[in-house]
Amino acid sequence: MDSVGVRVRLARRDEWERVRDLRLRSLEDAPEAFGSTVAHERAHVETEWIGWIEGWEGATNVLYVAEAGDAWVGMAVGSRTGDAPSAHLYAMWVDPAWRTRGVGSSLVQEVLAWARSWDARWVILGVTETNDGAARFYERLGFADTLKRHRLREGSELDVRILRRRP
């Protein structure tokens, strides 16, 4: 899918270093938006980064990247554990210079299309409760608050609200 000069496509296994670099950029840019930290993920090895692309711990993943020329400017991961009826949207991030241009929407639409391809019941995601901009973004795309909450990560004071929508 293309959006304002940006192409969205699946990342390949051999691009794990670029995936690593993009993910670390996202964690540095928005440390309170993700369930992990840059310090934790800097220690990941090649197989763990390939897991982001292909799947981990019994899950199947698809990792979409947004490309502007040679630069990667965004990412989103769709994940399904085993034969679970629902998909998860993880690690959604767009470089601040590329926000409000439709890049995020294009990434989410690709994950939704992937979930539709296997008849997922829901696509589920978490957004930090203090991140009203991201919550509004997802609500504009049809996601609704489930009213479920959980802690962002161990040691954090922030909660995550769980949103979902039909693919």
Per DSSP, the three-state class of 79 is strand
Strand duo 123-128 + 159-165: pairing: antiparallel
Residue recorded with tokens 């929508």? 165
pTM over 0.75: yes
Strand duo 144-151 + 159-165: pairing: antiparallel
Which neighbouring-strand residues pair with 79? 61, 88
Contact criterion met (CB below 8 Å) for 1 and 106: yes
d(C-alpha 25, C-alpha 27), whole Å: 5
- Mean pLDDT of all residues in 19-31: 98
pLDDT above 70 as % of the chain: 98
Domain span holding position 139:
2-165
pLDDT at 135 (0 to 100): 96
Specify the CATH number for the domain of residue 108: 3.40.630.30
Q: Is the pLDDT of residue 154 over 80?
A: yes
Q: Is the pLDDT of residue 1 over 60?
A: no
d(C-alpha 69, C-alpha 83), whole Å: 36
Dihedral angle computed from the Cα positions of residues 64, 69, 74 and 78, in that order, rounded to the nearest 10 degrees: 0
What average pLDDT is seen over the chain? 96
Handedness of CA 42, 45, 51, 57 (dihedral sign): negative
- The pLDDT-based confidence of 57 (bands split at 50, 70, 90) is confident
Q: Is the pLDDT of residue 162 over 90?
A: yes
* Number of domains present in the structure of the chain: 1
- Mean pLDDT of all residues in 81-105: 97
- Mean pLDDT of all residues in 43-58: 95
Contact criterion met (CB below 8 Å) for 145 and 127: no
d(C-alpha 150, C-alpha 128), whole Å: 10
